[in-house]
Structure 1
């Protein structure tokens, strides 16, 4: 154990090179973003800085640019070839954002397992259907015919908290909902105890996706329209989830009601009658901020909630099946669907997902267009190489330094599956949109470094002449 700690500390201090880093990555002691296997605070004294992710997405590091069109496809392809090959199957595409011209294509319409880059498509669909300013409400309703019952109605707020509301971006709190409810009941002169009825009917069907394997229970909760703190009892991105997320939320709500002097006889489950009156509500942060958090932290749980919201479009039920149909319909309309694609979840956890490099580049193109304000959160939510989010610990090997602070991307990682999709400002001012996917490479670390080198070389591309 002492040897491992020394290796990790030396790595954090920049003493060890790629061999040690690759070895630690293989053992699970070195990871990209997310929740590290070793508490990042142990590096603080050794290196003088913490490697922990920022509490919230920071401001973009790129200055405004007005790129001129004209990047040459042969020059871009030459840069990519110079990086050299990687084992496994590859798919890729690079597009000049100013002209829409394809500058590089490696089976762009082929179908690959995307891992978490799928979150780009889930987020695109959610932004398209709801708009960036939409908020999801968690409500307390009351049936006029049975005033002794309060209906706690889940609105699909993925960041509802059982602690104090905070931000930015502002997270809503179930404690605030309880306080507003208690005030309303007292103002109405409600006598006696009330029963809290839990209503999670917003999303129909099972919460656990049948395409997920059991080990994913440490990576995603059973999706619910009502939970607190992402259904994570320990607050960690990787670890056990609440077995009954809506009950945990209801328990926090009733405990606060009791603390505020409201008598509660118990909890039950049901659906609020159609003519129920609103007692109180709290609203989520805007969808654009939810998307930013989903992307920068690769939040599986929140992505699955967005997926179910997509499944509510067109009077659908919000079930897994309806969500699969709705996301396909939406992406087809936006030109971000190619024949052969298959999307079964919102997070990219399932290996049954298949997407194309063209679909991912199309999504990013929509976000960075001058008139793409509706989808802009896709661009602002992407991690910055070597700086924040799931790219904070990357771009450290030879041939990658040029991309630090310039490459913006959503990462994707499963066993033998690695991907990057995003955009980069090259040295000649061009904005290049890209997607690269690798399936089947056994050397996990080598694959990640290859992706870092590919995108870093795009940042140095003076590819007009």
Structure 2
């Protein structure tokens, strides 16, 4: 068969499998431990129903999706499972892998390779941050970006409230990135100004309107004082910051502090709040012209306390939900969004919205989830810092809390796990013969630094048993083919009928 045709068939198969994969979290909504239909009968086809392509595509949670699983499905044999993983979990060059596999329902450990050894987790750190944000803020919480009346007549203050996924155009209710738009905010601000909500403009001290329109000038101020402490962590490499892995943190930004929403690599704005404020001022200028108003050039930043706490709100736009933002953070492994989410969780917990406050909030939430913190050290909440130390067991404890724990708010993170071979940071993996068995089935958070890779997530095995796992490699040879070892291991779990 020609390679092009074979690849086309593979793409169709993976797209169909995605329907099955996205149905997995729907089962959690029905029962925390994936409870439901029992094992397939002897008359069932060789491929179990939860690993078959659906006859027709269906939306997640619909008739085409996967129903809940049974807690009576057989648990893999630890001995048989270890034999498979010991054959796949091998480094290419230097370094070592640690790992653990647990039964999600009971927590029983099925595979343990130095699972309690604290290691650099890379972006698997975001799993900890996701759990903290969902617990403190709740999956349905939204962040507000407001324009309030300024301290002088005719001035307005753009106030950051934690939404760094602002779009420059109109608000898009169907989107996560760009759910709240600056053009929509500007138009609402002009309507408020037309009604005299901000008092007299600088060119119309009487405050009187002519034909329903104020003839004056509006000045724009920026209040981004919600966050405190340094905007950059000393735990981050300056080279990583320069490369755009993150940027100075502010409580409002366009496109998660990206110049172009379509480009997720390369340098970022170094003052994302001012970049957003200048974009707002430009949109306000356009909207104000039709109302007989003008906008003064430039944006001035004001400090904490410069705007009265009871200042009149002229306009407001709200972000996508925290649950949706967490899913985007996990899918794309966005360091900037993760750090902001940590600081907003700190605000929700009554702590300072600083790096230290974010770390303290994450650690407290892990403690409240009864996850042992022995050896765990958090230098940031995104995983960019090489000083982070987390064990594979602690990572699976978090994944298990999301899949099967008592706090159902954590279920909101499950859609955010990339699907092998299909979505997010796993979209380009699981395409060869050794790993294709996990395509569409494995759901896991990736992690990559120069000498570090990690993969933590969940999968339903061939017998219908839900397994959680974490594999972490440290001290690896840069550029070596080590991701394949993780993918082969996760694929082995998906195909396991290990008894």
Considering the TM-score relative to the shorter chain, is it more than 0.5?
Answer: yes
Name which of 154, 168, 176 aligns with 2:174: 168
**Given the alignment of the two structures, is residue 204 of structure 1 paired with residue 228 of structure 2, yes or no?**
yes
Structure 2, unpaired ranges of 5+: 25-65, 202-216
What aligned pairs does 1:322-341 form with structure 2 within 5 A after superposition?
Answer: 322-341=357-376
Separation in 2 of the partners of 1:169 and 1:335? 35
The answer to whether the 8 A contact 1:382-1:408 is kept is: yes
How is 1:175-254 mapped onto 2 (pairs within 5 angstroms)? 175-188=183-196, 190-192=199-201, 193-217=217-241, 218-235=244-261, 236-254=263-281
Partners in 1 of 2:434 and 2:70 — Cα distance? 25
Output the TM-score relative to the length of structure 2.
0.78
Task: Give the CA deviation at 1:396.
Answer: 2.7
Q: What SS does structure 2 have at the residue aligned with 1:317? A: coil
User: In 1, distance between residues paired with 2:4 and 2:68?
Assistant: 34
1:353-394: CA deviations, max 9, x gaps? Answer: 111112211111121127553111321111111111111111
Cα shift at 1:340: 1.5
Work out whether residues 144 and 318 of structure 2, in 8 Å CA contact, stay in contact via their aligned partners in 1.
Answer: yes
Other structure's SS at 1:420 match: strand
Change (3 A) 1:138 1:337: farther
* Counterpart residue number, 2:62: none
Partner residue of 1:148 out of 127, 145, 154: 154
Against the structure 1 CA distance between its residues 284 and 453, is the aligned structure 2 distance closer, same or farther, given a 3 Å change threshold? same
In 1, Cα distance between the equivalents of 2:349 and 2:461? Answer: 41
Tell me the CA shift for residue 13 of structure 1: 5.3
Larger Rg: 2
* Kept in 1: contact 2:90–2:97 (CA 8 A): no
Moved more, 75-84 or 106-115: 75-84
TM norm structure 1 = 0.84
Choose the corresponding residue for 1:277, options 306, 312, 315. Answer: 312
Gaps of 5+ in 1: 1-11, 16-45
DSSP-derived class of the 1:462 partner: coil
Q: What's the secondary structure of 1:309's corresponding residue?
A: helix
Return the alpha-carbon distance in structure 2 between the equivalents of residues 423 and 353 of structure 1.
23
Map 1:279-428; keep pairs closer than 5 Å.
Answer: 279-369=314-404, 372-428=407-463
Partner of 2:68 in structure 1?
Answer: 65
Name the CA distance, whole Å, in 1 between partners of 2:170 and 2:237: 34
**Shift of the alpha carbon at 1:419?**
0.4
Give the direction of change, closer, same or farther, for the CA distance of 1:150–1:365 in structure 2 (3 Å limit).
same
| Structure 1 Cα separation of the partners of residues 246 and 257 of structure 2 | 9
2:137 aligned residue (111, 117, 130): 130
Query: How do 1:46-65 and structure 2 match up within 5 A?
Result: 60=22, 62=24, 63-65=66-68
The 3-state SS of whatever aligns with 1:158 is: strand
**Alignment length (residue pairs):** 418
Supply the distance in 2 between the matched residues of 1:199 and 1:126 (Cα, whole angstroms).
24
Gap change, CA 1:150 and 1:443, over 3 Å in 2: closer
Is the Cα contact below 8 Å between 2:130 and 2:413 reproduced in 1? yes
Q: Relative to 1, partners in 2 of residues 1:276 and 1:343: Cα closer, same or farther, differing over 3 Å? A: same
Residue 78 in structure 1 maps to residue 102 in structure 2: no
The 3 A distance-change label for structure 1 pair 284 and 213 is same
Residue 119 of structure 1, CA deviation = 1.0
